[in-house]
A and B are shown apart, each in its own frame.
Chain A
């Protein structure tokens, strides 16, 4: 089975802090994705990556950055956390074909106070 793990299930940070969310997949997938999930808004794509050291902006990249130094690891960075970034963050990975068949991690619920 594909396994996607996220470093924390729950995280509480203060406004202005730099926050790192880590995601690791064990199936040698080329593609990795970061989403945020908010009630009534569904999942929205923040960033994605199709290869090591490669990244593409999703629909809501503002206030976020990413890093992919190794194939299995994709990090989401909040440079200066704000209260409007309180959300559930979901990481996913997928093989090259089909890209859309994404496998999700359990999520990190981030609260910024």
Chain B
């Protein structure tokens, strides 16, 4: 069965510093990969997605992610974080067994310090 691992439960970063959130997946075929963000008290918002093609994908709010098949990873990056980036981030993999659905990781909570 497919699975998604986000090894970091909580990350603290200074405002203006760079950010990388890790995501590893386990899936037999080519995965469809997603990053979602959940601001406090809100639902999830899609940041970016990878279906095929260029392995470096750009998303909203200045985020990007790189698909590395050899490492089964899809890490999220941002060159300079803002206080408003404080949120919980979820990586997800899309699988298809007749009915497509998403499998989510357990999330990484990002704290920004001034």
Contacts and interface: CB of A to CB of B under 8 A. Distances in A.
Contact of B46 (A45, A99, A102): A102
Nearest to A102: B102
Contacts, number: 57
Given A43-B90, A90-B44, A101 B49 contact: yes
Given A50-B99, A58-B101, A100-B100, A42 B44 contact: no
B43 A107 contact: yes
B99 A56 contact: yes
Contacts of A105: 43
A106 B40 CA distance: 10
Interface stretch (B12-20, B55-63, B69-77, B103-111): B103-111
Q: Chain B CB within 10 Å — which of A42, A92, A102, A104 has the most? A: A42
Interface residues of B, number: 23
B27 interface: no
A98 B94 CA distance: 10
A112 to B, nearest CB: 20
Interface residues of A, number: 24
- Chain B residues touching A, majority SS: strand
Contacts of B107: 42
A58 B43 CA distance: 20
A107 B44 CA distance: 9
Contacts of B92: 100
Contacts of B51: 98
Interface of B: 9, 32, 34, 36, 41-46, 49, 51, 90, 92, 94, 99-102, 104-107
Given A43-B104, A100-B34, 8 more contacts: A90-B43, A92-B43, A92-B44, A100-B32, A100-B101, A100-B102, A104-B43, A106-B42
14 contacts: A40-B106, A43-B104, A44-B104, A48-B101, A50-B99, A58-B101, A99-B94, A99-B100, A99-B101, A100-B94, A100-B102, A102-B46, A104-B43, A106-B43
